[in-house]
Amino acid sequence: MRVTVIQMNSRDDKAANLAAAEALVGAAVREDRPDLVVLPEVWPLMGGDAAAKRAAAEPLGEEGPAWRLLRDLARGHRILIHGGSLLERDPAVDRLYNTTVVFDREGRELARYRKIHLFDITAPDGREYRESATFGGGREVVTYTAEDVRVGCSICYDLRFGELYRALAALGAQLLAVPAAFTLATGKDHWEVLLRARAIETQCWVAAAAQWGPHPAGREERWCYGHSLIVDPWGSVVARVSDGPGFATARIDLARLAKVRRDLPVAEHRVLGG
């Protein structure tokens, strides 16, 4: 399976972001011929206040423009799309969620995942992030089968919680998808280290599609780190996107995964934590 990670610089213009995603996916399909494309976190909208996020959020289904675009890209290009994450509005509970939606080559929805761990911190640069002020947290650990590959779902801040990835591996995950919008302050020190650690400890492939660059946040401008990566089960980076919007592609080799797990059977040796 050929997997592509898409890197975007989404801002506070939903229509422009949808057009940018469509163009990047189209370019990746033409140049790299992927089977599975992974987009970054909240690619339809980055920045803006809570009111802007609520206005851009959509129920998942036909009436949502971002949902429809993902479906149409999957169907039109005959690819699988792991749709990063959307701003989901759940009318049943009047709540927003940060939600992944996945489509198969026919444009049929394969999976949904709501981000479990919400980013409520004061970053090293002193800026505060309070994701829980806008979004509800998910509760379900989600995997799905993308043809021959079992994929585990996560989003951004989830990356810091190894127990989620061990749970995904226990459910049979072979590829871990990590759409993200890591801040520049945290990403420069932790992003690659954590991705490689998750690959090593679970002996899974990792596909991490990131936001890069500036986006407005009230009266200030904030930056995302970027550096989208694909990591093999030994922890080696096999594909990387440099600064700016773009994409990178690698072949997910399940034989490589099987060899790593056979030669170093850490899952069989685990004593604590199940």
Domains, in order of start, for the chain: 2-269 (3.60.110.10)
pLDDT single digits (tens) 95-144? 899 999 999 999 999 999 999 999 887 877 787 888 887 889 999 999 99
pLDDT single digits (tens) 214-272? 998 878 899 999 999 999 999 999 999 999 999 999 999 999 999 999 999 998 888 88
Q: Are 134 and 53 in contact (CB under 8 A)?
A: yes
Mean pLDDT within 170-188: 96
Looking at 14, 58, 88, 115, which residue is catalytic? 115
In degrees, to the nearest 5, what angle opens at C-alpha 24 toward C-alphas 18 and 30?
135
Annotated catalytic residue 14: no
Give the whole-angstrom CA distance, residue 17 versus residue 31.
21
Looking at 153, 156, 204, 224, which residue is catalytic? 156
Q: Mean pLDDT score of the chain, rounded to an integer?
A: 94
Q: What single-letter amino acid sits at 36?
A: L
Give which of 4, 20, 5 is closest to 215, Cα–Cα.
Answer: 20
Mean pLDDT within 167-196: 97
Q: Are 25 and 37 in contact (CB under 8 A)?
A: yes
Lowest mean pLDDT among 8-17, 19-28, 125-134, 195-204: 125-134
Q: What is the DSSP string of the chain?
A: -EEEEEEB---S-HHHHHHHHHHHHHHHHHHH--SEEE--TTTT--S--HHHHHHH-B-SSTT-HHHHHHHHHHHHHT-EEE---EEEEETTTTEEEEEEEEE-TTS-EEEEEE--S--EEE-TTS-EEEGGGTEEPP----EEEETTEEEEE--GGGGG-HHHHHHHHHTT-SEEE--B--BHHHHHHHHHHHHHHHHHHHT-EEEE-BBEEEEEETTEEEEEE---EEE-TTS-EEEE--SSSEEEEEE--HHHHHHHHHHS-HHHH--S--
Annotated catalytic residue 41: yes
Looking at 41, 53, 58, 88, which residue is catalytic? 41
Annotated catalytic residue 115: yes
pLDDT confidence tier of residue 274, bands split at 50, 70 and 90: low
Whole-prediction pTM value?
0.95
Residue with tokens 């930056």: 223
Lowest mean pLDDT among 92-106, 158-172, 190-204: 92-106
- pLDDT of 94 reads 78
- pLDDT of 155 reads 98
| Beta carbons within 10 angstroms of residue 33's beta carbon | 12
Percent of the chain with pLDDT over 90: 81
- pLDDT of 127 reads 78
Give the whole-angstrom CA distance, residue 240 versus residue 230.
7
pLDDT confidence tier of residue 7, bands split at 50, 70 and 90: very high
Sign of the dihedral through C-alpha 208, 229, 152, 168: negative
